[in-house]
Structure 1
Amino acid sequence: MAEEKNGIGTGFITEVDRYLYNNGKHYEIYEKLGAHKKNYKGEDGMYFAVWAPHAKQIGVVGDFNGWNPEKNPMTRLADSGIWEAFVPGLSIGALYKYAITSESGKILFKADPYAFEAEYRPQTASVTADLSSYVWNDASWMEKRKKQDPTDGPVSIYEVHLGSWKRKNREEKDGFYTYVEAAHELGDYVAGMGYTHVELLGIAEHPYDGSWGYQVTGYFAPTSRYGTPQEFMYFIDYLHQKGIGVILDWVPAHFPKDAHGLSDFDGQACYEYADPRKGEHPDWGTKVFDYGKYEVDNFLIANALYWVEKFHVDGLRVDAVASMLYLDYGRGNGEWVPNQNGGNENLEAIEFFRHLNSVIKKRGNGAIIIAEESTAWPKVTEEPENGGLGFTFKWNMGWMHDFLEYMKLDPYFRKYNHHKMTFGLTYFTSENYILVLSHDEVVHLKCSMIEKMPGLLEDKFANLKVGYTFMLGHPGKKLLFMGQDFGQFHEWDENTSLDWYLAEEPLGMELKNYVRDLLHLYKKYPALYEKDYDWEGFSWVNANDSERSIFSFIRHSSNGRNSLLFVLNFTPVERSDYRVGVPKKGTYSLVLDESQGLYHTGKKPPSYSAQAMKWDEKEYSIAFSLPAYGVRVFSF
């Protein structure tokens, strides 16, 4: 095709499309750019379109033309940086790339940034695909999602790396479970345990397993490691029918320098900042997206909407938000460029987040956006019109750090570090927090959760029980990485399966059943989630019993019914007649302890009548035996 001066081309990309895209507001641009099955001048084939503003010439190449850049040249649409071509006779399942001739004359073979499917690694071609054939069966889930406010509902997330959750003993495709196989086993496990959501690491296509999916080359392609895009749709559909939401890790912060990826896409800085002081992460060896370009912002925002709307994903957890917000992130003096005001804030990234979160909220589909933001940046979950970034939730990294530092201590020294467990309760209303014990905490010689715990084997499991109970009672939504709910011993390794046999051994099974009971308790009692970010939802009974390392507090329900009293002993010392103040006269029924777990329907739980004895600055109190590492949760 010759260059179209009037910008009409095949007519598939209109002048309105180009205007919206070049101004960062074409939220369905993935329906136009990329590879799409079309009929042109009476012939069926594939239509290709790509943004490459600095290219001298582009050809679509693949098996169908012997990878010859001259066989299927593309036409540049005027004033847009977009190139297009139609290849007659080509259908679904074809391998292809773009052969991009740069201004210097060098030919670059690039995968399609908007491809819906990618070749199985280590091969790097894009694959033509059609997403319209899948028939969804989750209409009731999607309708319910639109009406829910996730901030006052239960959110307990099971964080999963599909490639290492379970593996099969065979060589085919590295022994990975397919999306379909994983849907059934993972869906059944998560539903049985009582989690509300699954969060998946590394689903967008990536070349290197060791990146865990955080260095993406195919932003619109579910990784072919586990199957096809339609099979991934089935995975999400099945989990929805089991009552489980699906969250994806999403990486708009950076991308790798692989030759077939986005780096110097058309021979120059295209998706990244041109100045390496802004455009490269020195610590990670990756490129930084240029949030000052409308087309780049459009690529990312449309990508977020693509997962939410095309794949029915319930939320995105945005990785490495701090690296986007700070121009000096990971950089020393002289290695970064201040903003127009002389500060270190990336004003373009701030505007990008506000745009992204505003658009997703206005679409009204109920999707959540979670920030993994590791600093004290203010108003991360505040609305943009109030000066915030507009995220639904933020990972509480400060709580995680303090909690783990406390739990790793020998119990004798915990009394000197009591504040590590109470400090999080001074700021829990400042953001919509998620309490996280994520994959990052069980790799790189940090030890698994069970191996962080002090003492002999039985002590380790007892510590973890009381620690998880504290996490459950603390305001904020919850996230736990796979394997930590049954006491996985070795650190997470993306190349091997979890040690599932441990879940069948006595201590592992006991811990798994206890975590299951915690999760079911969480969903049963609204006091544990409906006022997560309200001072009225939490009150201390005794925050100062540091000498005995005992914490007692109340989670209040909105209607005053079925509030919960937590009493937690973080030492191996039994307190045979422990007394705790209670807010009112009445009966306090034990609903969970460290040995029984959850007192299920049909088994009458022990109950205690409040006595008119002042304790903990309260008019009434109850007394009971509190064992070593004891847990007592009462409803009243």
Structure 2
Amino acid sequence: MLPDPAAPGPLTDHDVYLFREGTHARLHERLGCHLDTVRGGARFAVWAPNARAVSVVGDWNDWNGDADRLEPRADGSGIWQGWVAAAQPGHTYKYRIAARSGTPVPDKADPFAVRCEEPPRTASVVHSLDYAWGDQEWMASRGERNRLDAAQSIYELHLGSWRRREDGGFLGYREIAHALVPYVLEAGFTHVELLPVTEHPFYGSWGYQTTGYFAPTARYGPPEEFMYLVDYLHRNGIGVILDWVPSHFPTDGHGLAQFDGTHLYEHADPRQGFHPEWSSSIFNYGRHEVAAFLLSSAMSWLDRYHIDGLRVDAVASMLYLDYARKPGEWVPNVHGGHENLEAVAFLRLLNALVYREHPDAMTIAEESTAWPMVSRPVHLGGLGFGLKWNMGWMHDSLAYMHEDPVFRRYHQGRLTFSLWYAFNENFVLPLSHDEVVHGKGSLVNKMPGDAWRQLANLRALYGYMWAHPGKKLMFMGCEFGQRAEWAHDGELDWAALADPGHAGLLRWVSDLNRILREEPALHELDFAAEGFEWIDCADADASVIAFLRKPSRARAPRLLAVCNFTPVPRTGYRLGVPNAGRWEEILNSDAPMYGGSGWGNFGGVDAQALPSHGRPFSIDLTLPPLSVLMLRERR
């Protein structure tokens, strides 16, 4: 249940009821700092149930803890509130909390702040969001673009290292907007996915160690400039997905950790409240007020910033109590199992709320296990996500492509296994930032062979990926085959595009995205077995696979994808097809314009009445080396 989403106002008894119930999803309209348009100054409200005293310290009172004390509400909610006449826009502030236990508490940033100081400074900023949106056309039509049967190709990027100024400094949100939009349009992606922009003290965490769950990072400008970035993308027909991290938070003194001198947002037991891999705190999803805090964070990005989707990070770490833990290092649930029942309930509530309040938006789970029904509705017993990353496809595909083509015949199953489960979930096929960091190297350098073969292999991988059922996601730099591993403290190697091979790879990705949008067969039935049909998955000796993609519209053409994962050109390669007529070659990754050697089929082939592969007709193809062909039946 949500409160009346009217203009921000003081807390009501109904707000407190929903807060304590764990279902309030717009706490950002009530808690935190809000300028008072009637009396002037600002109202402050903060949850600190185990505090003995709370005051607001800031620029206006010389950070004097005795000047502006807050009062606890009499309802036992643990919320402290008050009005400060001298607080003005632009003032920095924190909460000074005296714990009942006497434990010293560092001054705390406002958990609900809409604006923060630029790191390394850590104070919150008195601020009122004010922006005139121009994306009304996008918002009215985005439901069609986010549908499960729509063409979706996602460009994942990190704002601080996509492009830099000449002096090495960060671009601002507005500068990024005007550089990013023409590039994304040229490359043909339908959406961008931003690594977390929520405020974070350590830049090297890429935003995954969040302290400001309601504020875009000040590194690139004020919140209104981030709104401009989203607005400008929307006005140019590009959707925006935000990476969002409700799985853990850092232990920095100014943040949420031991907020009121106790483990308020996190579990006190380190077997439940401390993440051993990331040295961070884990939210206590069973505490209703914490669930309401996270629900409100998610809703604030959808409400205030017109975000089109939330990619929820590290869902597996939320679902399993023994995630990254050895025996004896975790606490079983009430049934003795390792499932985090409170996290499951939270995720279901989150997804139900998002799709109820913003049915034209989407949620995406980064979930790396076989947890069932991640992308199935809550009312059917699922977690309720719209989409799920297919980590199995990613691992198997990269492992196969890493093999020398001589040995790929022994690993054909890695390439075809994904189709056994491709329709169990609504999958996104991700080639994400996680595959090009921490010594893993770049995608192109994972490919075997000399420089030409590496790029040809990468073109083949991308062609196979775009033909495979599922939505697509690619991390920045992979679209042109950057050879250096991604480094967050610089920018992409844009000079690589001066090389014809790398420029050709970008042209190939652009054409894959164009065909993805133009051909219903490649997106309408991404999540239905009826949209896919093997022609041949068993020719391991030649390392060739061939399959059909089929549309839901009766009169739209089917597409045939043929992948040759060896550097051997194959002439006279016969494949069965379901009907007579012309099969037009609409894409060929070996075309010279992409950096290929120029083998092909002169624009298409005619089917013959020669049965093959269990079909009444067949075509005689030339398969270029290390290539993917896409052929369209002519109707």
TM-score (norm 1): 0.95
Partner residue of 1:32 out of 5, 30, 36:
30
Aligned residue for 1:249, secondary structure, equals: strand
Q: Which residue of 2 aligns with 1:625?
A: 622
Aligned to 2:610: 613
Moved more, 142-151 or 157-166: 142-151
Distance 1:66 1:149 in 2: 49
SS at match of 1:544: strand
Distance 1:11 1:574 in 2: 70
1:488 to 461, 482, 495: 482
Out of 277, 281, 284, the residue aligned to residue 287 of structure 1 is: 281
Contact between 1:589 and 1:605, CA under 8 Å: does it hold in 2? no
- 2:254 aligns to what? 260
Task: Name the SS for the 2:101 alignment partner.
Answer: coil
Per-residue deviation, 1:169: 2.3
Residue number in structure 2 paired with 1:570: 565
In the TM superposition, 1:230-309 aligns within 5 A as: 230-309=224-303
Q: Alpha-carbon deviation of 1:532? A: 0.6
One-letter code aligned to 1:36: H
Range with greater deviation from structure 2 (451-460 or 550-559):
550-559
User: Residues of 1 paired with 2:62 and 2:437: CA distance?
Assistant: 44
Deviation of the 1:202 alpha carbon:
2.1
- Give the Cα–Cα distance (whole angstroms) in 2 for the partners of residues 507 and 350 of structure 1: 47
Q: Aligned equivalents of 1:11 and 1:577: distance in 2? A: 74
The percent of aligned pairs where both chains have the same amino acid is 50
Which residue of structure 2 aligns with residue 18 of structure 1?
Answer: 16
Residue in 1 aligned with 2:57? 61
Establish whether residue 382 from structure 1 lines up as the match of residue 376 from structure 2.
yes
Corresponding residue number in structure 1 for 2:70 = 74
Q: 1:531 to 1:597 in 2, by over 3 A?
A: farther
> Which residue pairs with 1:319 in the alignment?
313
Any conservation in 1 of the 2:240–2:308 contact (CA below 8 Å)? yes
| Secondary structure class of the residue paired with 1:460 | helix
Deviations 1:156-193 (A, max 9, x none): 100000100001122xxx61111001011111111111
- 2:44 maps to a residue whose letter is F
1:48 touches 1:85 (CA, 8 Å); kept in 2? yes
Letter of the 2:73 partner, please give it: L
Look up the match of 1:459: 453
Task: State the 1:235 CA deviation.
Answer: 0.2
Matched with 2:499 is 505
SS state of the match for residue 152, structure 1? Answer: coil
Contact conserved, 2:363 with 2:387, CA < 8 A, in 1?
A: yes
Q: Measure how far apart 1:149 and its partner are.
A: 5.5
What is the alpha-carbon distance in structure 2 between the residues aligned to residue 269 and residue 550 of structure 1? 57
Aligned amino acid, residue 96 of structure 1: Y
> Of 387, 396, 402, which aligns to 1:408?
402
Q: Name the aligned partner's letter for residue 121 of structure 1.
A: P
Shift of 1:99: 0.5
Number of paired residues?
Answer: 617
Opposite residue 72 of structure 1, the aligned amino acid is D
Post-superposition offset of 1:536: 0.7
Unaligned runs of 5+ in 1: 1-9
What SS does the aligned partner of 2:256 have? coil
| 8 A Cα contact 2:144 2:150, kept in partner | no
The alpha-carbon deviation at position 207 of structure 1 amounts to 0.5
Of the candidates 547, 572, 580, which is equivalent to residue 585 of structure 1?
Answer: 580
Separation in 1 of the partners of 2:37 and 2:503?
A: 58
Q: Which amino acid aligns with 1:300?
A: L
Residue number among 158, 162, 171 corresponding to 2:159 in the alignment: 162
1:535 aligned residue: 529
Does the alignment pair 1:48 with 2:38?
no
- Given residue 227 of structure 1, which amino acid in structure 2 is its aligned partner? G
SS at match of 2:329: coil
Letter in 2 for 1:164: S
Q: Tell me how far apart the structure 2 counterparts of residues 120 and 623 of structure 1 sit (CA, whole Å).
A: 63
Aligned-residue offset at 1:577: 1.6
Evaluate the alpha carbon distance shift between residue 243 and residue 598 of structure 1 in structure 2; reply closer, same or farther with a 3 A threshold.
farther
Measure how far apart 1:11 and its partner are.
8.2
Deviations 1:114-156 (A, max 9, x none): 000110110100011111x200011111111245552111111
Residue 594 (structure 1) shift:
1.8
Contact 1:117 1:221 in 2 (8 A): yes
CA distance in 2, matches of 1:15, 1:515: 55
Cα distance between partner residues in 2 of 1:232 and 1:631: 39
Q: For structure 1, which segment, 605-614 or 280-289, has the greater mean C-alpha deviation from structure 2 after superposition?
A: 605-614
Structure-2 separation of matches of 1:236 and 1:396: 27
SS at match of 2:587: strand
Q: Cα 1:39–1:468, aligned 2, differ >3 Å: closer, same or farther?
A: closer
Asked whether the 8 Å contact 1:564–1:634 carries over to 2, the reply is: yes
Q: CA deviation at 1:384?
A: 1.1
8 Å contact kept, 1:381–1:389: yes
Alpha-carbon contact 1:61-1:99 (below 8 Å) kept:
yes
Cα pair 1:145 1:365 within 8 Å, conserved? no
2:64 alignment partner AA: N
- SS of 1:426's partner is helix
1:109-124 to 2 correspondence within 5 Å? 109-124=107-122
Conserved 8 A contact 1:517-1:598: no
1:558 is displaced (CA, Å) by 1.2
Aligned mates of 1:333, 1:545 — CA distance in 2: 44
Give the partner amino acid of 2:376. E
CA distance in 2, matches of 1:495, 1:315: 27
| In structure 1, distance between residues paired with 2:411 and 2:125 | 55
1:596 and 2:591 matched = yes
- How far the C-alpha of 1:598 sits from its partner, in A, is 9.3
Asked if 1 retains the 8 angstrom alpha-carbon contact of 2:314 and 2:367, the reply is yes
Match for residue 134 of structure 2 among 137, 140, 160: 137
**4+ runs of 1 displaced by more than 4 Å?**
none
Segment of structure 1 superposing worse, 146-155 or 109-118: 146-155
Q: Which residue of 1 aligns with 2:356?
A: 362
Give the CA deviation at 1:107. Answer: 4.0
Q: RMSD of the TM alignment (CA)?
A: 1.5
What is the DSSP-based 3-state SS (H/G/I as helix, E as strand, rest coil) of the residue aligned with 1:109?
coil
SS of equivalent residue, structure 2 residue 154: strand
Give the partner amino acid of 1:47: R
2:457 and 2:627 in contact (8 A); partners too: no
Check the 8 A contact 1:591/1:605 in 2, yes or no. Answer: no
Partner of 1:91: 88
**Alpha-carbon shift at residue 610 of structure 1 (Å):** 0.6
Residue in structure 2 matched with residue 128 of structure 1 by the alignment: 126
TM-score in terms of structure 2 length: 0.95
Query: Partner letter of residue 22 of structure 1?
Result: R
- Counterpart among 186, 189, 213 of residue 195 in structure 1: 189
Contact 1:527 1:564 in 2 (8 A): yes
The answer for unaligned runs of 5 or more in structure 2 is 1-7, 595-600
Q: Deviations over 1:39-78 (max 9, x none)?
A: 46xx310111101111110110012111111111111112
> Structure 2 CA distance, aligned partners of 1:621 and 1:39?
74
Q: Which amino acid aligns with 2:329?
A: E
Counterparts of 1:364 and 1:258, CA distance in 2? 33
Question: In structure 1, what is the Cα distance between the partners aligned to 2:136 and 2:246?
Answer: 29
Question: Paired residue for 1:553, among 547, 559, 562?
Answer: 547
Amino acid at match of 2:163: K
SS in 2 for 1:309: helix
**Aligned mates of 2:593, 2:194 — CA distance in 1:** 29
CA contact (8 A) 2:146 2:362 kept: no
Asked if structure 1 preserves the Cα contact closer than 8 Å seen for 2:375 and 2:386, the reply is yes
**In the alignment, which residue of structure 2 is the partner of 1:102?**
99
Give, as a single letter, the amino acid of the residue that structure 2 aligns with 1:617: G
User: 1:578, 1:141 → 2: CA distance?
Assistant: 46
